[in-house]
Amino acid sequence: MKQLPPVVLGLIAINALVFVPSLLSPEIGKSIQSHFALYFPKNDDFSLIQFISYMFLHGSPGHIFFNMFALASFGVPLTIIWGWRRFLSFYFVTGIGAAIIYTAVNYYQFSNAYSIFLQAGFTSENFSILITNKSIDHIFLAKLPGEVLSTLRSIYYTPAVGASGAIYGILVAFGVLFPNAKLSLIFIPVPVAAKFFIPAVVLLDLFSGITGFSLFGAGIAHWAHVGGAAIGFLIMLYWKTKLAMR
């Protein structure tokens, strides 16, 4: 592989430097996550800086490896074409956009579950008890479906981490600029043109986000992936339209 452009190498280095302390000490990793992972806005650990900082945190060695591998693979040609300033702007805008869309979908799902919670006769004080004390779940389950409780707790407590939103934006940009480039995955050994491969990957995430069924296991922020892809596509469309008007 040719030498990575400084902007791509820098992003990879920052992600690696943030990840290493989590490997060395679970307590340090827990502290980093509580401050910089993207929490639901109603959670006390939430802060606005998390819309940016979450992009530099990862949950496992496999998670960071695949994200950084994709960044190196698809970020290099984009940097060569755009230059480092435009690439870096694109990276952060798609990553932040992914976080906003992910949070908006979470807020919608949380609001629906919370409305059912209130309609069952419970109060905001009862909700505070619900999210902190599982030992009295039988009281809530007498009036509520179990999925309502799990939705409220999952959204409230589970943070999002990873550069995947920005990576999906980069994937879309690559597909727009190099539609006929051949791509493949480990479980799809036959190369497929980017114009077919990338939309299929995004649609798979959309399907998982809507249905809750994931081929790759639980804990994946599918709506962040879809959000990053959507923002990336809109930016590419805007740039294409802007160039056409000149």
Domain coordinates in residue numbering, the chain: 6-103+160-244
Q: What is the 3-state secondary structure (H, E, C) of the chain?
A: CCCCCHHHHHHHHHHHHHHHHHHHCHHHHHHHHHHHCECCCCCCCCCCCHHHHHHHCCCCHHHHHHHHHHHHHHHHHHHHHHCHHHHHHHHHHHHHHHHHHHHHHHHHHHHHHHHHHHHCCCCHHHHHHHCCCHHHHHHHHCCCCHHHHHHHHHHHHCCECCCHHHHHHHHHHHHHHCCCCEEEECCEEEEEEHHHHHHHHHHHHHHHHHHCCCCCCCCCCHHHHHHHHHHHHHHHHHHHHHHHCC
Query: Which residues touch 155 (CB under 8 Å, ≥6 apart)?
Result: 40, 106, 109, 110, 113
* CATH topology assigned to domain 6-103+160-244: Rhomboid-like fold (1.20.1540)
pTM exceeds 0.75: yes
The per-residue pLDDT string of the chain (246 residues; one tens digit each, 9 = 90 and over) reads 458 999 999 999 999 999 999 888 888 988 999 999 999 999 999 999 999 999 999 989 999 999 999 999 999 999 999 999 999 999 999 999 999 999 999 999 999 999 999 999 999 999 999 988 888 888 899 999 989 999 999 999 999 999 999 999 999 999 999 999 988 765 567 788 999 999 999 999 999 888 887 776 667 889 999 999 999 999 999 998 876 655
Query: Contact at 8 Å (CB) between 131 and 114?
Result: no
- Distance between CA atoms of residues 49 and 35, nearest Å: 9
